[in-house]
Amino acid sequence: MYIKPKKDTSLKVQQPTELLAFLMQHYAGSRTSAKSLLAHRQVSVNGTVQTRHDTPLQPGHVVTIISGKGNVELHHPKLKMVYEDEHLIVVDKQQGLLTVATAPGATETTAFSILKAYVKKQNPRNSIYVVHRLDRETSGVLVFAKTPQMQEYMRTYWRELVTRRTYVAIAEGLWEQQEGQIRSWFTEDKRNAVVYSSPVDDGGSLAVTNYKVIRQTKPESQDSKVYSMVELNLETGRTNQIRVHLASKGHPVVGDRKYGHGNESSPIDRLCLHAKVLEFIHPATEQKVHFESPMPRAFTHLFQ
């Protein structure tokens, strides 16, 4: 039977193994108890909280079982913890939640405000810092820094650190070319909060998106709506890049009020854009880390 530890317990790894096997052998006893420790974020490896059962361990690694006392968990219907260490927090954001408030003094709940409250429960001196953003109606993987130094470093070297950014969108219509690259130059009108795209260099910022059509619906009648599921890999990270690029191809993101035909065209009443994969070099460990958010079920239901 699993019993919560009264104090933190550290164990040194002697031979290569995986975290679940190590916990079962040295502490938890059963698979269920070991998974419970991981689910309750009570296991750290070399000071980093781990929740994956297949985390590889090497000789010399230190596995710490964290006591229940003072252990804070993140509970919010629109924000799920994916990864946390002393430098970064990675979350899975649901659609409908802002990354950060859009106006000074705004009281609306955001991913930033949720995480700020979370880290302050751990220690009142803690804070949280925005690294990048997702639009309110875009769901998926989002990263925050725990120190201003880490925020500044990641923002400064974002293009060098990030090795993969993959989104999935549901776009309107059937694509003639199933795979390709969209290149254009963006000019942002900040006054009207809109981005314009030019196929030629007009002095704007170059935006590059690689796309691949994964699935397409079959029209039931001549007037029925047709949708395409498109995987998109970003080479640049311009404001509204995917939304502007797909609209420029005549295939706007379903549910896009700004660049498309609005929610009247969306059978699931949302912007159909999801940040599926974020992979980058961790600034502190210099190791590549990979985070992935499951495809929204509503997306896949459109193609069944």
Q: Confidence class of residue 222 from pLDDT cuts 50, 70 and 90? A: low
What residues contact residue 273 under an 8 Å CB cut-off, 6+ apart? 135, 137, 138, 139, 167, 168, 169, 242, 243, 253, 256
What residues contact residue 145 under an 8 Å CB cut-off, 6+ apart? 87, 88, 89, 128, 129, 130, 131, 151, 154
CATH architecture, range 163-276 = 2-Layer Sandwich (3.30)
Q: Which amino acid is at 258?
A: K
Mean pLDDT of the chain: 88
Whether the pLDDT of residue 181 is over 90: the answer is yes
pLDDT of 143 reads 97
Same fold, 79-156 and 163-276: yes
Q: What is the CATH number of domain 79-156?
A: 3.30.2350.10
**Gap between the Cα atoms of 127 and 146, Å rounded:** 6
- Which of 54, 85, 92, 135 is catalytic? The answer is 135
Domain boundaries, the chain: 9-65, 79-156, 163-276
CB atoms near residue 179 (< 10 Å): 11
Residue 69: CA count within 13 A, CB half-sphere = 5
What residues contact residue 201 under an 8 Å CB cut-off, 6+ apart? 185
Enter the pTM of the model. 0.77
Token pair listed for 167: 């989104």
Whether the pLDDT of residue 85 is over 50: the answer is yes
Instruction: Give the fold, CATH level 3, of 9-65.
Output: 3.10.290
135 is catalytic: yes
pLDDT, mean of residues 235-264: 90
**Gap between the Cα atoms of 232 and 195, Å rounded:** 19
Long-range CB pairs of 185-188, under 8 A, 24+ apart, other chains included: 186/238, 186/239, 186/241, 186/244, 188/239
Q: Confidence class of residue 1 from pLDDT cuts 50, 70 and 90? A: very low
**Gap between the Cα atoms of 55 and 21, Å rounded:** 10
